Amino acid sequence: MTAALLMPAAPAISKPAALPDVQMRVTPTRIRVEGLSKRFVTRRADVQALDNVSLEIEQGEFVCLIGPSGCGKSTLLDIIAGLTKPDSGTVESDGKAVTAPAPDRMVMFQEPALFPWLDALGNVMFGLKLKPGLTKNDRLDIAHRYLKMVGLGGFEHSYIHELSGGMKQRVALARSLAPDPKVLLMDEPFAALDAITREQLYDDLQMIWAQTRKTIVFVTHNVREATCLADRVVLMSPRPGRIAQEFDIPLPRPRDINGAELSRYAGEMARSLKTVTDRSRQ
Output the domain CATH number for residue 233.
3.40.50.300
The three state secondary structure string of 198-255 is: HHHHHHHHHHHHHHHCCEEEEECCCHHHHHHHCCEEEEECCCCECEEEEEECCCCCCC
Asked if residue 191 belongs to a domain, the reply is yes
The three state secondary structure string of 113-164 is: CCCCCCEHHHHHHHHHHHCCCCCHHHHHHHHHHHHHHCCCCCCCCCEHHHCC
Q: How many CB atoms lie within 10 A of CB 18?
A: 7
Same domain, 187 and 94: yes
| Phi/psi of residue 116, nearest 5 degrees | -70, -20
Same domain, 136 and 84: no
Asked if residue 65 belongs to a domain, the reply is yes
> Across the strands, what pairs with 57?
31
Same domain, 233 and 93: yes
pLDDT for the residue numbered 282:
61
Asked if residue 124 belongs to a domain, the reply is yes
Which of 121, 155, 180 is the last residue before a domain boundary? 180
Q: Which residues contact 269 (CB under 8 A, 6 or more apart)?
A: 5, 66, 223, 226, 227, 233, 235, 247
Same domain, 86 and 124: no
pLDDT for the residue numbered 7:
37
Same domain, 90 and 189: yes
Same domain, 194 and 175: no
Same domain, 201 and 215: yes
Asked if residue 189 belongs to a domain, the reply is yes
Asked if residue 8 belongs to a domain, the reply is no
Asked if residue 276 belongs to a domain, the reply is no
Same domain, 61 and 157: no
Domain holding 171, by residue range, is 113-180
Same domain, 169 and 244: no
- Please give the Cα distance from 232 to 64 (Å, whole number): 7
Asked if residue 39 belongs to a domain, the reply is yes
pLDDT for the residue numbered 20:
44
- Please give the Cα distance from 178 to 119 (Å, whole number): 16
Same domain, 146 and 225: no
Q: Which residues contact 31 (CB under 8 A, 6 or more apart)?
A: 55, 56, 57, 80, 91, 92, 93, 183, 215, 217
Which of 140, 158, 180 is the last residue before a domain boundary? 180
Which of 180, 206, 232 is the last residue before a domain boundary? 180
Tens digit of pLDDT per residue, the chain (282 long)?
444 444 333 333 334 344 444 444 467 899 999 999 999 988 888 889 999 999 999 999 999 999 988 899 999 999 999 999 999 999 999 999 999 999 899 999 888 889 999 999 999 999 888 788 899 999 999 999 999 999 999 999 999 999 999 999 999 999 999 999 999 999 999 988 898 999 999 999 999 999 999 999 999 999 999 999 999 999 999 888 999 999 999 999 999 999 999 999 999 999 999 888 877 676
Same domain, 90 and 37: yes
Asked if residue 207 belongs to a domain, the reply is yes
What's the structural domain count of the chain?
2
Same domain, 94 and 119: no
Q: How many CB atoms lie within 10 A of CB 153?
A: 11
